[in-house]
Amino acid sequence: MAAGGFSSKRLARLQGLLERHVESGFVPGVVVVLARHGEVHIEATGQLAFEGPGAQTPMAADTICRLGSMSKPIVAACAMTLVEDCTVRLDDPVDDLLPELADMTVLADPHGPLDDTVRAERPITLRDVLDGTLGTGMVPAEPGTVPIADALDALEYRSPDEWIGQLGALPLVHQPGERWMYDTAANVTGVLIARATGMSFGDAIRERVCKPLGMADTAFNVGSESIDRFATAYEQDNAATGEPVVEDAPDGRFSRQRMFESGGGGLVSTAQDYLAFASALLAGGAHGGERVLSRPAVSLMTSDQLTPRQKAVSGFWPGYFDAIGWGFGMSVRTRRTHLGPSVGSYGWPGFYGTAWYNDPAEDLTTIVFMQRAHAGDQRLPMWQDFWTTVYQAIDD
């Protein structure tokens, strides 16, 4: 038996799986961290890039990657620190901090014209923002088919104040508290945190979450001193040549300070940084002798907060909520359907193929870092194979 209650023989299958992803050219490198019973296993293969200096640098636990939507749980945790120090309250309206979202109108028909609206039945609360039921968010639709989808896609991310002003000028898609909607809530949370703390969103996350947990590489941009550890992000292969296409290089948009710090997907981090965050949640809010949240706060944000009605017509595809719910900034497993995370597990993947889940029943944290656009979709066969490989290696 390997340390941490894993079978050494079965755990070797994971390395083989990761090597196949690299050898096929899907990604230049990938790193996986498994933490269980106080033991940490790191499985890494490949390099930071297909070309350039990164092609000579091995993928490792300190490789910096774009988190995409794995930013959301960190943002929710930061917001909960404000709840705990009574700066904000979960069921208070956000009107004082976000006056742009006060006295909202709501579409009479979610697919109808933008000027056909009714009044919001109640204000938006912080709880609505944290559990994704504030009434607006991602609307999956082909361009030109749903007016509110086009209007939301056209929002400009120049500065937090401009963005929230544009959002507030649009009607809500649903009444506050009526339905779960994805993504936008995390950006709203970021604006609220900045205004509540009187500092930039990035500074607030650093002071309240990252610094106490020793997450030195987690931020909204990568400094020049760390650029050599920053992996290149790729998208689909070139149709003509079959070569991988660079989506974002190390000296690209994440190498510069940005006006809009996106809570929905703007953070970069390392697997070892994210392990500190994940370990704190699994341990009830503390890690390395530093407490960032109370155990009751962690329990609240990692519990399914949605009612059956809020899940009724929500999600990305039919049946989306059959086996999961939503806490604050992350999904929560409500039914076990595959060889993978247990009921009560929580976490979230990211756009670039990152993923994190804590499984309290197994005392297990799993973190995956790679950099391939659209690779975080957990329906992909690669993810089914990955979770099967992790869980089949449990040997206690």
pLDDT, tens digit, for every residue of 305-337?
999 999 987 678 888 999 999 999 999 999 999
Confidence band for 296, pLDDT divided at 50, 70 and 90: very high
Average of per-residue pLDDT values in the chain? 96
Spatial contact of 82 and 89, defined as CB atoms under 8 Å apart: no
pLDDT tens-digit readout, 103-142: 999 999 999 999 999 999 999 999 999 999 999 999 999 9
Q: Does position 190 have pLDDT exceeding 80, yes or no? A: yes
* Ordered alpha helix ranges (H), the chain: 8-23, 71-84, 126-131, 147-153, 160-169, 184-197, 201-205, 211-213, 271-282, 295-301, 308-311, 381-392
- Which residues have a Cβ under 8 Å from the Cβ of 267 and sit 6 or more positions away? 66, 67, 70, 71, 74, 205, 218, 219, 220
Q: Does position 51 have pLDDT exceeding 60, yes or no? A: yes
Work out the average pLDDT over 92-104.
98
- One-letter amino acid identity for 288? G
| Per-residue pLDDT, 44 | 97
Q: How far is residue 233's CA from residue 249's CA, in Å, rounded to a whole number?
A: 6
pLDDT tens-digit readout, 199-228: 999 999 999 999 999 999 999 999 999 999
Which residue ranges form the domains of the chain, and what is each CATH number? 8-76+201-392 (3.40.710.10), 88-197 (1.20.58)
Spatial contact of 367 and 355, defined as CB atoms under 8 Å apart: yes
Q: Does position 1 have pLDDT exceeding 60, yes or no? A: no
Work out the average pLDDT over 90-96.
98
